[in-house]
Amino acid sequence: MNKRQIQFSEGRAKIDLYQLQNLFNIAAFWAKERSIENLGIAIANSEPVISVWDREQLIGFARGNSDGIYRATIWDVVIHPEYQGKGLGIKLVETVLTHPIMQVERVYLMTTHQQTFYEKIGFQTNSTTTMVLYNQSNFAPLETGEIQLQESLRG
């Protein structure tokens, strides 16, 4: 691998959703078979979005979300298997972490098998705050009148 061919890119515009879907199918058991439409929605609602390229081939990806002051989360960190073990994953996560919107009190991430990798970067196991709600279809959205009532009660 010629390192001069590797480029990190920030932003949504360069992401080829088909290449991203392929990368997930190759390298991420937790993201196999994600649809192009849903990938586009996830990326549109994320900042930062960081990609890693070897010329025109997408070989790495990660995205984040943040409130800009208190909390942020890193999602979908993936490096193509042929490029793993060369420091690109660490550089990818560090690139996400140094983005201005990610400068917050706490950054969270979820990982199934890569705790040791993230510990090298400085993440610590946190068993006291993690909970998951799997299916939100049980909740009905508030009607407009209910929202107005809540707002009038505050004021």
- Cα separation, 87 vs 71, in Å, equals 26
Residues 66, 104: contact at Cβ < 8 Å?
yes
pLDDT in tens, 74-104: 999 999 999 999 999 999 999 999 999 999 9
Q: How far is CA 62 from CA 59, 76, 95, 131, 144, in A?
A: 11, 5, 9, 22, 36
Residues 6+ apart with CB under 8 A from 103: none
Tell which wins on pLDDT, 99 or 31: 99
Stretch (H or E) spanning 108: strand 106-109
pTM of the model: 0.81
Joined tokens for residue 8? 């990190």
Range 42-58 average pLDDT? 96
pLDDT in tens, 109-119: 888 788 888 88
Of 101, 40, 36, nearest in space to 74 by CA: 101
Residues 124, 106: contact at Cβ < 8 Å?
no
- Cα separation, 39 vs 58, in Å, equals 15
